[in-house]
Amino acid sequence: MNGEFIPSNSAMIHVLTSSLHYASAVYEGQRAYDGKIFKLKEHTDRLFKSAATLRHKPTFSPDQINKAAKELLKINGMTDCYLRPLVWRGSESMRLTSPMLSTNMMIACWEMGGGGEGKGAPEMNLVLSEWTKPHPSSAPPQCKGAGNYQMSIVAQMEAIEQGFDDALMLDWRGFVAECTTSNIFFVKEDRLVTPTPDAFLHGITMQTVMSMASELGIRTQERHIMPDEIGNFSECFITGTAAGIKRVKSITIGGHKIEYKDGGLTSRLIELYEEVVRR
């Protein structure tokens, strides 16, 4: 935290911290496998791009942050875990903007095993949310900022209250966007189809899956998908740093349940993902 390694129960912030009140924090989610942080540079680069979007000025360089993340794993003796870098504004002023506000940086980690979900893992049951992703001019979709997740949290809570695992969200135009914190892929005729990431985060895991598909000779297509097309696909899965790759068993829209089965393509990608994250 701000350049020092300290016990988590000593890592405290003031109750008037600006980012706590105004959601002006940016963060990353990273995974380590066998002691190596997967796509560390890509995640840190995105952290700095998000920080620049919200006018944060980190006091540490990307190289310093990457070095600290690696050292944090060693200090904690962790090999398979999740890491959370966070940049936030301090408590020096309660104004929305002030030159007095400091920029702070922390990295936390906790144990998390596994890579992709593997065979026999629980499948996801999704429901279409009434909440939509905001217009890019009101919430920059490629900025991984805390404020961008407020209604995703509400959508996920509502889905769970209805007995589902997560919610599928549309964008402001009515196109399929993503789940609350994960990108989504569909399969049709041995081809991957995924929504164009112009209204939501272009996930690093999503990009990894597209690269893997190319390695396997699987055709891929990014395009706008309407909700009434969802029933035309044979397989479905979601991707994310924390989730890896998770199969989707069903999506419920307006009380109508659409079911999917693993026809083999999803399994191939899960198996390759298990290999890729440990290379």
pLDDT in tens, 199-226: 999 999 999 999 999 999 999 999 999 9
Domain assignment present for residue 241? The answer is: yes
pLDDT band at 44 (very low <50, low <70, confident <90, very high): very high
Longest dimension (CA), the chain: 57
* pLDDT tens for each residue of 146-175: 999 999 999 999 999 999 999 999 999 999
Domain harbouring 204, CATH code: 3.20.10.10
Domain harbouring 107, CATH code: 3.30.470.10
Q: Are residues 91 and 52 in the same domain?
A: yes
Q: Are residues 34 and 163 in the same domain?
A: no
For residue 120, the tally of other CB atoms under 10 A from its CB is: 6
Q: What are phi and psi of 36, to 5 degrees?
A: -115, 130
Q: Are residues 82 and 174 in the same domain?
A: no
Q: Are residues 237 and 207 in the same domain?
A: yes
How does DSSP assign the chain, residue by residue? -TT----GGG----TT-HHHHH---EE--EEEETTEETTHHHHHHHHHHHHHHTT---SS-HHHHHHHHHHHHHHHT-SSEEEEEEEEE-SS--SSS-TT--EEEEEEEEE---SS--TTPPPEEEEEEEEEPPPTTTS-TT--BGGGGHHHHHHHHHHHHTT-SEEEEE-TTS-EEEESSSEEEEEETTEEEEE-SSSS---HHHHHHHHHHHHTT-EEEEE---GGGGGG-SEEEEEETTTEEEEEEEEEETTEEEE----SHHHHHHHHHHHHTT-
Domain assignment present for residue 179? The answer is: yes
Q: Using the 3D structure, point to which of 75, 90, 111 is the last residue of a domain.
A: 111
Domain residue limits at 238: 124-276
Q: Are residues 268 and 183 in the same domain?
A: yes
Token pair 């994960």 is found at 182
Domain assignment present for residue 36? The answer is: yes
- Considering the chain, what percentage of its residues have pLDDT values greater than 90? 95
Q: Using the 3D structure, point to which of 46, 79, 111 is the last residue of a domain.
A: 111
Domain assignment present for residue 3? The answer is: no
Helix (H, G, I), strand (E, B) or coil at 163: coil
What's the CA gap between 17 and 11, in Å, rounded? 13
Domain assignment present for residue 119? The answer is: no
- DSSP annotation of 149: G
DSSP β-ladder status, 124-132 and 244-253:
parallel
Q: Are residues 232 and 258 in the same domain?
A: yes
* pLDDT tens for each residue of 49-73: 999 999 999 999 999 999 999 999 9
Q: Which residues contact 173 (CB under 8 A, 6 or more apart)?
A: 199, 224
Q: Using the 3D structure, point to which of 54, 81, 111 is the last residue of a domain.
A: 111
pLDDT band at 114 (very low <50, low <70, confident <90, very high): low
Q: Are residues 86 and 130 in the same domain?
A: no
Domain assignment present for residue 2? The answer is: no
